[in-house]
Amino acid sequence: MSTVGIRELKQNASAVVSSAAAGEVITITDRGRPVAQLSALADTVIDRLTATGQVRRAHRRMRDLPAPTAAGDVSASLAEMRDAERY
């Protein structure tokens, strides 16, 4: 963990951000007092699942998929479901 003053951060922002992206945790100080901490973003759940092979990213957008077709009468199916819930 390293410490960087605000002035140094302004002058070397690119290098400081690169260090943080590489995994280093950087404490930013204002007149010697810690005021912020800069670190890399944590992986998202989808990134971790993709890395372990548990999921695959979509190859196309949902709107490009064909619309689902209704199988049977929707009103009759809904009435059947409601009747089943009552008893």
Quick: pLDDT tens for 19-78. 999 989 999 999 999 999 999 988 888 888 998 999 988 887 777 777 777 677 888 888
CATH architecture for segment(s) 1-56:
3-Layer(aba) Sandwich (3.40)
Residues, the chain? 87
Confidence of residue 87 (pLDDT cuts 50, 70, 90): low
Question: What predicted TM-score, i.e. pTM, was given to this entire model?
Answer: 0.52
- Within 8 A by CB and 6+ apart from 38, the residues are 16, 17, 20, 25, 26, 27, 28
Rounded distance between C-alpha atoms, residue 43 and residue 51, angstroms? 10
Quick: pLDDT tens for 6-16. 999 999 999 99
Tell me, what's the pLDDT at 25? 95
Domain positions in the chain: 1-56
